[in-house]
Amino acid sequence: MSLPQRNLNPVEPRIVVRGGIPLIGEVAVSGSKNASLAILAGALLAAKGETILRGLPRIGDVGTMAQVLQYLGVSTCFEDGGTTLRLNASVLVTDETPADLVTRMRASFWTLGPLLARLGSARIAQPGGCNIGARPIDLHIKGLSALGADIDQGFGSLTATAPNRLKGATVYLDFASVGATMNIMMAAALADGETIVENAAQEPDIEDLGNFLNAMGADISGHGTGVLTVRGVRQLHGAEYTVSTDRMEAGTLGIAAGITGGDVFLRGANAAHMRPITLKMREAGMLIEESPEGIRCVARTGRPQATNITASPHPGFPTDMQQAFTAMLCLADGVSLVTDNVYESRFHYLTELAKMGAHSTVNGRTAVITGVKRLTGADVDASDLRAGAAMVTAGLAAQGQTRVFKTEHLDRGYERLNEKLASLGAEIWREDEFGRRLDTPIATPEKLVSCSHA
């Protein structure tokens, strides 16, 4: 029986990569997707005054979060081509976050804490799992309940009420959940008294959110460490803030240099935020030079070195980087073990890499990667955002042409990835569903250039 082959010209948009070109040059790193989404949710807490956010990445998810805020009553106005957002959250018109946006983008669930703190109630769809894991919300509920909220779940949605003001409490997180830490921190910011979160997530995105909330008048300390302390205040006001650069985008661009035998300077990359990633890059044989302006990533001569990765909460190796890094390990000289202790099923992309000649086996949370000397181009799907990054990364090194389908995932989280890679010498372009080459850069999503005065 012949294997089902993708028809020669599927009617689907795609990214096309011709591999084998070493990437050389300098590229600017955009703002952090995950910090931006958290900070946009945090802006809901400002009962008065304007907030101005700068350095936002021009990606679909930022546009979607702006839509969520507009729905809730926030006036938003993008400037500077979509990298600056002025917003005013002094008037909120509902406590309900639209279900279709929550299911489309999980980060919308981070409106729960701020709405509950600001309005005394919040209604939101349960985000559910996705193809990387069950992604439960029990720790969000544990934390908000500890602060005195009544949580009612049913029919796929959740209602949280706090008829009296939330009260500070001590919360222990059984897992250092990023989202739960964020929701609890934002809710505690307006609670009566002190909240301590033990085993809090330490990701740089948490640090960014805490810094932004403090700029709004909150009283938070320990953000970015395992013990977070929030002393509640009565009211928060708008603030100006510039988000940090995206360590996952920077890591992906650095790996693109490593897998192609290149030499790339990542302007604006934050060395401290990227330390778990760059330390593993060094173990894979890359030369990493850190400076206040950014990070230089130089490939090892010959094949990358095999090394083992264990994805775990920060300062562990980030789970959002294991996919692109594993693509490089597929070409390493030796066998590598990749374990993901954050999500229980985040290796689906390996079946796509196998089409390009990668050798791997998966046993529960660990994948065994046996390096091969070469990958060959193929038609592959991006099953999610980070899997898409792995496909493009592998395509940059593969012999021949790779076509990556389901490109909408990539546009959610990487700003103009094609253009950035092409500026480093990659032969990469987009084709529309009819196979016509699209040389113009992907326009900034129209949601990112609009003003909406609720």
Closest separation in Å from C-beta 35 to ligand EPZ: 8
Question: What residues between 312 and 351 interact with ligand EPZ by CB under 6 A?
Answer: 319-320, 342-343
Interaction between residue 303 and ligand EPZ (CB under 6 A):
no
User: Quick one: 261 or 413, whose CB is closer to ligand EPZ?
Assistant: 413
What is the contact mask toward ligand EPZ in residues 177 to 196, using x (rule: CB under 6 A)?
A: xxxx----------------
- The mark string for 196-225 relative to ligand EPZ (x by CB under 6 A, - otherwise) is -------x----------------------
b or e along 410-425 (b: 16 or more beta carbons within 10 Å of the residue's beta carbon)?
Answer: bbbbbbbbbbbbbebe
What is the rounded distance in angstroms from the CA atom of residue 343 to the CA atom of residue 337? 16
Q: Of residues 175, 300, 339, 365, which one binds ligand EPZ by CB under 6 A?
A: 175
- The token duo for 390 is 């792995």
Taking the C-alpha atoms of residue 7 and residue 379, their distance in angstroms, rounded to an integer, is: 10
How far lies 176's CA from each of 30, 138, 140, 314, in Å? Answer: 26, 12, 11, 9
144 counts as binding ligand EPZ under rule CB under 6 A? no
Distance of CA 299 to the CA centre of its chain: 25
Q: Binding pattern to ligand EPZ, positions 70-109, x when CB under 6 A?
A: ------------------------------------xx--
Contact status: 136 vs ligand EPZ (CB under 6 A)? yes
**Does residue 67 bind ligand EPZ (CB under 6 A)?**
no
Question: In the set 15, 21, 29, 34, which binds ligand EPZ (CB under 6 A)?
Answer: 34
Q: Nearer to ligand EPZ by C-beta: 263 or 381?
A: 381
Stretch that binds ligand EPZ, among 7-15, 176-184, 290-298, 354-362 (CB under 6 A): 176-184
7: Cβ contacts below 8 Å, ≥ 6 apart: none
Task: Establish if 113 lies at the interface with ligand EPZ (CB under 6 A).
Answer: no
Strand-pairing partners, residue 263, are 24, 298
Question: Do 169 and 142 contact (CB within 8 A), yes or no?
Answer: no
Q: Which of 255, 260, 305, 261 lies closest to 278 in space, CA to CA?
A: 255
- Total chain residues near ligand EPZ (CB under 6 A): 25
Question: What does DSSP assign to residue 252?
Answer: H
Separation of alpha carbons 371 and 356, rounded Å: 12
In the residue annotation, 451 being an active-site residue is answered as: no
Using rule CB under 6 A, residue 386 touches ligand EPZ: yes
Stretch that binds ligand EPZ, among 2-10, 11-19, 62-70, 137-145 (CB under 6 A): 137-145
Please tell me whether residue 9 adopts helix, strand or coil conformation: coil
Separation of alpha carbons 97 and 123, rounded Å:
6
Q: Rounded CA gap, 52 and 39, in Å?
A: 11
The contact set with ligand EPZ (CB under 6 A) reads 33-34, 37, 106-107, 133, 135-140, 175, 177-180, 203, 319-320, 342-343, 385-386, 413
